Structure 1
Amino acid sequence: MRPPTHIILVVNGVKVRHPVFVLSAPHSGADLIGRALKRSPGMHLTMGRPDVSRVVYAFARRPSIMRGQAGGPARVMRDVFAEAWQLVPGACAECPPACREAGGVVGATLCTTPAEITRFGDANPDLLYTAPVLLQAFPDARFVQVIRDGRDVAADMLADPSCMTWFRPGMLGEEAEFPNPFLGINSGKHRDKWQQMPAAGKCALRWRSAVRLSAALRRELPREQLLTVRFEDMVASPGDTAEAISGFLGTRVSKVALLTGAPRPGSWRERLKPEDRKLVEKVAREELTRLGYLQPAS
């Protein structure tokens, strides 16, 4: 079903047409593509704005909010981006360091000016969980989603304190909703099992759920709206990936910006404890196998 038409949003005097949203599981490379797009001519892309994050996590943790009546969630999403994309004095001070660095922001300067903007976008780390509302809010949006080996993702998540905070026992209190794609749990019957699961297993559940959401998007969205990038291909051949994203979005993307700071694929071999690797592969075996990261069981 085609999404409904909508009134075009205007920010900084510029019409928001075909905004770009970068989607992925945690630590899968959305930040690398976001940084590259932020440096593309005419692109005003935000990364991790606190106001956007609050809305994203509210929707992600309570999916029922996204089914609000009369387009309310879509209006909320449009409003928060209308604010996040505003270029007023001090606006970039609200952005996290990674976004400021990508935009070359020094002191109180801005990453760009309204006169330079032709396109808007966002690469918040967990946008994937709100993709249905993003599509309702911006029916003409373009999505770039990134897929990465779940074992590398788990290794990075385990080393990231901010990711680990989502696995506190209180995250699945009595008010928690199920199914819960954000934590990768399908039923409240699994609450106790999740509470007792080692952190590596919880990381695998989050990756598995994100990959399933990504697969659903590929089935639902037309090719002109969704491009899927494999992290390992991006690292091995940044020029080809930059060319693919450039062609998809109709904007120049630098291969240097894509590759700078990219972690080495396969580092899970040294970083994951044997018991953690076995658990990740057990929990996410179906998805790891389908994506070619694991050989099918004989």
Structure 2
Amino acid sequence: MRPPPHILVVNGIKVRRPVFLLGAPHSGADLLARALKRSPGFHVTMGRSCVAHVVYAFARRPSITKGTGAARVLRDAMAESWQVWPGACGECADACREAGGVTGKGPCVSTGTVTRFGDASSDLIYSASVLLQAFPDARFVQLIRDGRDVAADMLADPACLAWFKPVMLSEDTEFPNPFLGVKRDEHRDQWKGMATAGKCALRWRSAVRLSAQLRRDLPDDQLLTLRYEDLVLKPTDAVAALSSFLETRVSKVALYGRRTPRVGSWRARLRGDDLQMIEKVAREELTRLGYSN
């Protein structure tokens, strides 16, 4: 007999249909998180350390996710992240505080108004299967963006670049390693000697392949795929699709009046060698997703 589903209660509120935002780095999850954080009833967190530690442990050592306790560990991390208490926002990342319009230590929400929970921490996509085990009724929204624009932003982001140091592939690194986009152990030295632009392309390629797998595995009522380009150029349509999918009103006000990376900015930002490397590594996925021009 199948065991009854675990019911998580946070601050006296039952966690039902939590929302998780997924995508490669700099694919726009932060923009959607901003919209959800400012929508009635939502409590959305981003980058809390309790979640980040678990997510990166799973990302670097995929075998951990196969254990029976992985779902419990991630569920507990989310529960801690969603706790609402007077100093809660003081432990949040700057991006989360800014997205929520928080100027003090918080909290950014009142427990009396919260009806839905969500998380938009970086690299959640590598824990998607565990999130589904932990929250079988979860809703997933994944963002797809031109890999060349993603790589251009990653090359300007010290936090992303830190993952590309050769030491990141230690002797106990597991393969295949979706987080770094490395398939086999024999590719270790090749990765270490690869230009940083190529490593950015590998991470994007790996993330969009995981997105494609989710599209095949999850039913339409649990997964929505949005393009960054539509989010920026057609925010009203994108938010309407999101509102329909989540069956709730999502604020689009937070998407206006912000400086966001322009669509196609890679044309002015990527040098010839970097662009050539990115397009070589990710050509198949760029073409499949319609980003070949």
Q: TM-score band (shorter)?
A: over 0.9
- State yes or no: 1:283 paired with 2:281: yes
Which residue identity lines up with residue 275 of structure 1 in the other structure?
A: D
Q: Distance in 1 between matches of 2:192 and 2:37?
A: 39
1:164-179 equivalence runs, <5 A? 164-179=161-176
SS of aligned partner of 2:264: coil
Contact 1:5 1:139 in 2 (8 A): no
SS of aligned partner of 1:116: coil
| Residue equivalent to 1:209 | 206
Q: Which segment is superposed worse, 209-218 or 4-13?
A: 4-13
| Residue equivalent to 2:27 | 28
Q: 1:242 to 1:114 in 2, by over 3 A?
A: same
Q: Distance in 2 between matches of 1:91 and 1:255?
A: 26
> Cα offset for 1:5?
5.0
Q: Distance in 2 between matches of 1:271 and 1:174?
A: 35
Q: Which runs of 5+ in 2 are unaligned?
A: none
Which residue identity lines up with residue 13 of structure 2 in the other structure?
A: V
SS of aligned partner of 1:114: coil
- State yes or no: 1:61 paired with 2:60: yes
1:1-298 equivalence runs, <5 A? 5-68=4-67, 71-259=68-256, 260-294=258-292
Q: Which segment is superposed worse, 101-110 or 233-242?
A: 101-110
Q: Distance in 2 between matches of 1:234 and 1:221?
A: 22
Contact 1:238 1:256 in 2 (8 A): no
Q: TM-score, normalised by structure 2?
A: 0.97
State the number of aligned residues: 291
> Cα offset for 1:257?
1.5
Q: Distance in 2 between matches of 1:130 and 1:213?
A: 10
> Cα offset for 1:251?
1.8
Q: Which segment is superposed worse, 259-268 or 113-122?
A: 259-268
Q: Distance in 1 between matches of 2:121 and 2:58?
A: 13
SS of aligned partner of 2:22: strand
> Cα offset for 1:4?
7.2
Which residue identity lines up with residue 16 of structure 1 in the other structure?
A: V
Identity of aligned residues (%): 68
Which residue identity lines up with residue 32 of structure 2 in the other structure?
A: I
Q: 1:188 to 1:201 in 2, by over 3 A?
A: same
Q: 1:4 to 1:168 in 2, by over 3 A?
A: farther
Q: Distance in 2 between matches of 1:108 and 1:212?
A: 38
Q: Distance in 2 between matches of 1:120 and 1:261?
A: 27
Q: Which runs of 5+ in 1 are unaligned?
A: none
The C-alpha deviation readout for 1:56-95, integer Å capped at 9, x for no partner, is 0000000000001xx3000001111111101112111110
> Cα offset for 1:108?
2.7
SS of aligned partner of 2:69: helix
Contact 1:4 1:136 in 2 (8 A): no
Q: Distance in 1 between matches of 2:185 and 2:106?
A: 48
RMSD (Å) for aligned C-alpha atoms:
1.2
SS of aligned partner of 1:146: strand
Q: Distance in 2 between matches of 1:76 and 1:138?
A: 12
Q: 1:87 to 1:233 in 2, by over 3 A?
A: same
Which residue identity lines up with residue 45 of structure 1 in the other structure?
A: V
Q: TM-score, normalised by structure 1?
A: 0.95
Which residue identity lines up with residue 22 of structure 2 in the other structure?
A: L
Q: Distance in 2 between matches of 1:243 and 1:290?
A: 26
The C-alpha deviation readout for 1:98-129, integer Å capped at 9, x for no partner, is 11122222223310011000000000011001
Q: Distance in 1 between matches of 2:70 and 2:22?
A: 19
Q: 1:118 to 1:285 in 2, by over 3 A?
A: same
SS of aligned partner of 1:190: helix
